[in-house]
Each structure stands twice: as C-alpha cells, then as structure tokens.
Amino acid sequence: MAVVPLDVTTEAVPARRTARPPLPHPEPAPRRPRRALLRPLAAALLVLPLIAAAHHVRPAPFGDHLTRYARVAADPAPGALRLRTRGAAVEAYDTAVRWRHTREGRRPLAVLAAPGQALALWSDGMVTDTEGAQGRTVRWHRAIPGAAAWLRTPGAHDGAGVLQPLDPGGRMLAVITPHRIAAYRAADGDLRWVLPARAGCAFEPATYVRRASALLVAQPCADDTVAWSERIVAVDGLGRIVPRRTPLGNELPGTADTGPSTAPANPFASHR
C-alpha cells in the first residue's frame, strides 16, 4: 500500500483579544481655599526681614566699628579734618569729633590724613583707609608684608614715620618698617612696589626728610664700610630713585598717570 505524503500548512489563528475595561476619568482635585494659598506667601514675607536683620548684624570681617557723632550736611573744608589716636580708637575731628573707628582687640599705632581719606596702621599689621569726610565706610584693608616679628617686639616701634605720603595729592602711601618699604595706591589699596632694606641694614621710619618730590629715609648699617649714600634711600611714588629707572605707573586702570616723573631731580645733588 503506497503512502502519499501530504504537505499540510497550518494557518496561525489570531489570538482573541481580551477587551480592557475603560480607564476611569480622574476626579478633579479639590480647590484649595485662597486663604491656604496665602499662608506660604505670608510666611516667606515674615522670614525676609529676619534674614535681612541677620545679614545686618553679622560681625565685620576685620572687627571694624565706625561711629559717627557730629554729622553735618557739608564736608569740612580742605585741611580742616584732623586725625588722632585716643586709646584704642582713631578719631576724626574739626570743631567736634565727627567719627570714631575701632577694631576689636586692636589698637592704632599711626594715622595719616590725606584728601578725603583717613589712613591708619593697627597693632595687627593691618592698614585701613576710611572715608575721611563723614566716616561712612572703611574702604580697604591691607596687611603689611613681613611685619609680624617687628610688631611683636615690645617697645620696638611707636608708629612715628611709618605712614608717609609719596606725592602731594596723597595718591600713593608708603608704609615704612625696618625691613622694607611698601607702597600702596591710596584709591584702592593696591600694592604697587616693595623695597627691601639692604642686607645688614634697617630702615628707621622716624628718621626721614623730604626734598622736592622725594622722600629720604635713613637706612643705618652695622657694617661701617657701607658708603653714606647707601645709608640714605630716596623714594617717590614710583619706587626707589635711581638713574635711568623705568618703573611701572601707578594710575588706576583706564586713567592717565599724573604722578612723579620717571626722571626726578637727584635728591643728593646738594651734597656733592
């Protein structure tokens, strides 16, 4: 009996889809009362004054305290405002005390009045510049480089001659310590140059003289063979006065420099 092969092709029967129940429509969220919406806003408005008050009473980073006593509408006449140290404070006064500047745990060693400015050296080696007329703010703080050992020596300094203007307009300030002279731009406290003392010598801040646009500072030396001309250093706003110098200017960015000439007259000419 012959067997005839059969080619049987089976068609795939599609699966019967099960009908899904319709998704329920979300119910609308209940409306919050207007009073509930205003509560977070009211709480934020109450917190804002507290944040502002905390910002206002936070301690000054350098421990500064400025107190104004005699506020007037007009600024004092040029040269009328004077400075003095009294206890642990710097006081500015003319006919009466206008303002008082103190720093926590510090005392002033020296003060210098410049046009619109009040400069002070403090016992921690910090130099400050306060707005001179009304004492509204301390504009900048700068630390004297390498003065820690000098400041810690009892009786080694009294502040005499440490702060010196380097030009008639008070644009440049010199801070003179035994080991170096540092010059700052008075407008913003930018350190412009540093002149170290000669090896074996030291500057004497209290021993100085002015001649023309130059400031001459004594620099005594332990070595007797050092020439007398090396025992006196002449500086101005641009640095040490030496022949053929090419110093950087001291002007603020974007302004023209009207400071000392790069080739001032020789301050030692009368001694030759």
The pLDDT value given to residue 57: 42
How far is CA 181 from each of CA 77, 130, 204, 218, 237, rounded to the nearest angstrom? 32, 22, 10, 12, 11
Are 182 and 174 in contact by the 8 Å Cβ rule? The answer is: yes
Q: Tell me if residue 94 falls in helix, strand or coil.
A: coil
pLDDT at res. 138: 93
d(CA 217, CA 214): 10
Backbone region of residue 179 per phi and psi (left: phi > 0; alpha: psi in -120 to 50; beta: other values): alpha
Q: pLDDT tens, position by position, for the chain (272 residues)?
A: 454 443 433 344 454 555 566 656 556 656 656 665 566 655 655 555 544 443 344 446 789 999 988 655 456 665 677 899 999 999 998 888 889 999 999 999 999 998 888 999 998 999 999 988 788 899 999 998 888 778 877 666 667 889 999 988 889 999 999 999 999 999 999 999 999 999 999 999 999 999 988 999 999 999 999 999 899 999 999 999 988 887 777 676 666 554 554 445 555 554 43
Tell me if residue 37 falls in helix, strand or coil.
helix
Taking the domains of the chain in order of start, what are their residue ranges?
60-143, 159-254
Looking at residue 167, its amino acid is: D
- Cα–Cα distance measured from residue 262 to residue 246, given in angstroms and rounded to the nearest whole number: 7
Q: Are 226 and 201 in contact (CB under 8 A)?
A: yes
Q: Which two tokens stand for residue 105?
A: 């745990």
Radius of gyration for the alpha carbons in the chain, expressed in angstroms and rounded:
37
What pLDDT is stored for residue 146 in this prediction?
81
pTM of the model: 0.69
**pLDDT for the residue numbered 69:** 83
Which of 152, 196, 193 minimizes the C-alpha distance to 174?
193
List the CATH code of the domain at 60-143: 2.40.10.480
- Note the pLDDT of residue 136: 86
